[in-house]
C-alpha cells in the first residue's frame, strides 16, 4: 500500500475484553514497530519485528500484551483482559531496512485509538 495502514481507527471496549489491533506495513518493509502514545505523552516503544521474528519485546507492559507477524507482513497487537489504563493511541511504524541507518526512516500509521470503559 501507499502507507502504513492501521485498523480499526477507533476501538471502544469494555474492561476485561480482549482486543486485536491490526497493522499493515508498507509493502516490502522489513521492520515493523509498535508504539503506544498516552494522552499528552510521546510515543513509547512496545515491540518490533524484523520479518516475522520478534526482535525485542522489552516495551510490552505485561503479559496481557502480545504481538505477532506470522508471515513477515501484517502484524497484530493483542491485549487480553483490557484495563482502563490500556486506553491510548497505538501506533504502528515500518521501515525498509533493519538497522536504522543513515538512509532509513520510520513511516508511521495514523494509529488506533483504544478506549477501555
Q: Which residues bind other proteins (CB under 8 A)?
A: 3-4, 31, 33, 35, 40-45, 48, 56, 91, 93, 95, 98-102, 104-111
C-beta closer to other proteins: residue 14 or 102: 102
Asked whether 88 and 39 are in contact (CB, 8 A), the reply is yes
Q: Shortest gap between Cβ of 41 and other proteins (angstroms)?
A: 6
Assign 82 to helix, strand or coil.
Answer: coil
Q: Shortest gap between Cβ of 32 and other proteins (angstroms)?
A: 10
Q: Shortest gap between Cβ of 4 and other proteins (angstroms)?
A: 7
C-beta closer to other proteins: residue 35 or 65: 35
CA geometry: angle at 50 spanning 47 and 55, to 5°?
45
CA separation for the pair 82, 117 (Å, rounded): 9
Cell representation of residue 29: 518493509
Assign 21 to helix, strand or coil.
Answer: strand
C-beta closer to other proteins: residue 75 or 95: 95
Amino acid at each position: 500500500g501507499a502507507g502504513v495502514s492501521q485498523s480499526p481507527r477507533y476501538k471502544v471496549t469494555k474492561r476485561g475484553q480482549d482486543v486485536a489491533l491490526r497493522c499493515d506495513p508498507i509493502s516490502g518493509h522489513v521492520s515493523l514497530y509498535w508504539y503506544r502514545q498516552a494522552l499528552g505523552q510521546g510515543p513509547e516503544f512496545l515491540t518490533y519485528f524484523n520479518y516475522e521474528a520478534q526482535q525485542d519485546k522489552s516495551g510490552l507492559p505485561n503479559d496481557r500484551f502480545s504481538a505477532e507477524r506470522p508471515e513477515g507482513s501484517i502484524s497484530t497487537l493483542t491485549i487480553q483482559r483490557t484495563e482502563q489504563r490500556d486506553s491510548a493511541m497505538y501506533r504502528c511504524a515500518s521501515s525498509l531496512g533493519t538497522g536504522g541507518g543513515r538512509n532509513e526512516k520510520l513511516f508511521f500509521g495514523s494509529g488506533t485509538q483504544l478506549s477501555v470503559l
